[in-house]
Structures are given as C-alpha cells and as structure tokens.
Amino acid sequence: MPSTVDEAVVRLLGDLPAADIDWIRRNPKDSVTGQIYMGYGTGVRNEFGLWGGNDALRKSCGTEDPEGCSVVIIEAMWDRVQAQTNPALRSSLQCQFATTHKIRINTTGWYLLTVGEMLDAMQAQIDRQVKTAAAPGCPAQVRIVPLGDLNRQCFVRAEFENEQPLDVALMWLGFRNEFAFRLSPCAARFGVEI
C-alpha cells in the first residue's frame, strides 16, 4: 500500500487509461473532484486502507478523515496531470477554466426542455456573457460542440433551478443526464465537447 500521497498518485495514474488522464487534464480541479469523489474515491479509500490500517497515508494527507484523504489524493492527481501537460495547452486550459467559471448559467425551467433545446439555451447564455467573462489574452468565444450520437429529442433531467457557473452546470447536467464533457481549446475559441 502507498504510504504517501505521492506514491498513491503515481500508482493511480499508472493504472488509468490515457483517455481518463486526458479527461482529468481538460476539466477544472473542482469538477474532477466532484465527479469522481463518490465512485472512484470510494475505490481509493477501500484499496488504500484509508478506513483503517494505513495511518501513514492518512498522515501524509494531513487528515485522519478517510474521505478527506481521498480528496487530497484526487486533487494531487489533478495537480500532477496539469504539471505534466504541455505548457501552452495548460495555459490555454487555465484560460478556459477561468472563463467557464465566470459565465453564469440559469437553469430555471430546463426540466421542460429537450437536450437540443437545453444546449441551444446554454449557448445563448454563453454568447451573451463570454466577451465580459474572458480574461485578458483569452479567446472571447465558447462553443458547445456535441460529440457522438447525441439524441437532441430526449428530455433533460434538470431538477435544480438556479444560476451557477457554466463549469458547475455542466458537471451537474452531465451527471444527471449521463453525458461527459471536456474542454477543448483551440486558437480562436474554446469548445465544450459533450
């Protein structure tokens, strides 16, 4: 069993497929932690003996709380992936993380919408805010780019009706509707691939 956070991170990243590492790279730290805390985090807590027996790892995490320790490990994984990312891509992603967190999405009434209507409503809200949300030197365009065989006619699960940052809205809508998203920067714009 790993006895330090660093050992745990090396082991976990060594076991992850490249696509999962890329997903971690292209999502903000809070989104990654929020999305994998329950399932993957439970596996980390169980596999690494955080519920009992692995005092050294909990001490390395700086907490006796097994759940808190798994959060420290997941966040350290995100930090490691970011540190290993090409600096130009990392800079572009940091721009995109900041922009998507500053854009506010109001989901009131979305429980009545289809996936297609939701994506159109989200894009309209993005378009109204992106010029003021983009940090200096960052592209002032964010596009929702559906990937795969997305059925635009299905209704959306959007029980929560509030205003929240775009990255948080994407995380919750993805969780509720079983789609994943990733941020995809390119030269003149950002894309949110769903």
Within 8 A by CB and 6+ apart from 10, the residues are: 2
pLDDT value of residue 56: 97
pLDDT value of residue 187: 46
Cβ atoms of 60 and 5 closer than 8 Å: yes
Mean pLDDT split into 10-residue runs, the chain, 194 residues: 97 95 91 89 95 94 96 98 95 89 95 93 95 87 80 89 90 81 61 56
Within 8 A by CB and 6+ apart from 99, the residues are: 130, 133, 134, 135, 138, 142, 190
CA 131, distance to chain mean position in Å, is: 23
Cα 140-181-146 angle, rounded to 5 deg: 75
Residue located via tokens 């949300």: 133
Compute the distance between CA of residue 93 and CA of residue 184 in angstroms, rounded to an integer: 8
Residue located via tokens 């894309």: 191
pLDDT value of residue 186: 61
pLDDT value of residue 191: 56
pTM metric for this prediction: 0.80
DSSP state of 187: S
pLDDT value of residue 105: 96
